[in-house]
Amino acid sequence: MARPCLLLLLTILATLSPSATAEICSFWDKGCVDPLAQTAIPFKFDPLFLETMNFFYAFDADSQGKGQAPMIKTGFWIGYQASTNNSVININRTSEIAVRVGNLTGTPSGGNNGCDGVWGSSCSNDLKTYLQETILEYVQNADTYSNPLSNVIHSFRSTPPILPNCSPTLFEVQNIPVISFVSEDEDTKKAYVKTHGSPDDPWESWFIDDMSASDQAQQVAVGIIGRVPAETAPKPEKESEIQIEIVCARAPSQGTSSSDG
């Protein structure tokens, strides 16, 4: 008579085996994000990419986190069809994306992939111009360098930029991860593109202390994408040789956006 109970027990144990639980994403596992909220914002990255790309931003929440304070785990990645316009690869270049989350609320909408609706077109233009100028100066003066966007963004932590039409707290956040995702090779006329991400394999995830899920739902994530001549390329001479795009997202998403700006 005990045999049916034994079979039931074995069935339950099988469902709890490592192979069955491997797909569960723990809040504390930085290799994945189990999204409480997720959004994707389409944007263009001309002329290198032929199709529209998607900036994905997601977060999970733990009401107690460390001790009794709430905590957020957030992550991002880009989704795309990795079809590139190899005819525009005339020098070696590198493309990176930096993402800042926190200390910024608003409704993404309008130009510059939703960022104009968050802080106005004047701030968008100030930010893009300043990044072009600063990266150009960095590249021109550096004997050797890699990941130029990362180096410039991280310098803002100690010396925040003064942008007349933007909040002075724009870069006052706990963390600004930067990921390199394209390397262009002049010799082969090919672009080597990072595999697109997913909740199971985000490009980066990190924790934000003392933030509840409802508060995080009001926060805007800002993606800053830079395409810059690599160290092995001729030194750029003008700002227009530094390509900067920005994209703003909120999860759950509200409003509309466009790439015009």
Q: Residue 53: which residues within 8 A CB-CB, separation 6 or more?
A: 42, 43, 44, 45, 78, 79, 80
Element (DSSP H or E) covering residue 41: strand 37-43
CA neighbours closer than 13 Å in the CB half-sphere of residue 96: 22
Q: Does some domain include residue 145?
A: yes
Residues 59-82: pLDDT tens digits? 999 998 777 899 999 999 999 986
Instruction: Grade residue 181 by pLDDT with cuts at 50, 70 and 90.
Output: very high
Under a CB-based contact definition with an 8 Å cutoff, are residues 105 and 116 in contact? no
Helix axes 121-141, 148-155, angle to 10 degrees: 110
- Tell whether 164 is covered by a domain: yes
CB 37 within 8 A of CB 74: no
Is residue 28 domain-resident? no
Residue 119 counted as domain residue: yes
pLDDT at 253: 59
- Tell which wins on pLDDT, 10 or 257: 257
In a domain, 11, yes or no: no
Q: Cα angle vertex 237, ends 123, 112, to 5°?
A: 25
Residue 124 within any structural domain of the chain: yes
- Global confidence as pTM: 0.87
- Does residue 261 have a pLDDT over 70? no
Question: Positive or negative, the Cα torsion across 231, 232, 238, 239?
Answer: negative
Tens digit of each residue's pLDDT (9 = 90 or more) over 19-58: 333 468 999 999 999 999 999 999 999 999 999 999 999 9
Residue 23 maps to a domain: no
Tell me whether residue 25 is in a domain: no
Closest CA to 104 of 209, 258, 248, 203: 248
Least confident of 15-19, 171-175, 230-234: 15-19
Alpha carbon distances (Å) from 37 to 159, 217, 258 = 33, 8, 22
Q: Examine the pLDDT at 162 and tell me if it is beyond 70.
A: yes
The per-residue pLDDT for 182 is: 97
When divided into structural domains, the chain yields a total of 1
